[in-house]
Amino acid sequence: MIILERRIGVVGIVVEDRNKSPEINSIISQYGNIIVGRMGIPNRDKGLGVISLIVEGTTDEIGAMTGKLGNIKGVQVKSALSNKYK
């Protein structure tokens, strides 16, 4: 049996098209089991927003979520994860 190491880290999401919010929120909800915390800051004047997620999961789980988010046009995603976490 292969045991996948869990990691903890942060995922930063820049939303350049706020009309994509329902799609973004749907994906984030699908991965709610790996999300420890969430903070979102809208900038209505500029029509964009920033979301930061604290995540805890395997690299496969986190990568699947960030991959789906990154495939949305007008959304930029970056993550920073711990090397090891028990």
Q: What is the pLDDT of residue 63?
A: 96
The sign of the CA dihedral 29, 46, 70, 63 is negative
| Domain boundaries 6-81, corresponding CATH code | 3.30.70.1150
pLDDT, tens digit, for every residue of 53-79?
999 999 999 999 999 999 999 999 999
Q: What is the pLDDT of residue 5?
A: 86
Q: What is the pLDDT of residue 78?
A: 98
Residue located via tokens 């495939």: 71
**Model pTM score:** 0.89
Q: Are 75 and 13 in contact (CB under 8 A)?
A: yes
Q: What is the pLDDT of residue 2?
A: 63
52: helix, strand or coil: strand
Q: What is the pLDDT of residue 55?
A: 97
Q: What is the pLDDT of residue 3?
A: 65
pLDDT, tens digit, for every residue of 20-44?
999 999 999 999 999 999 999 999 8
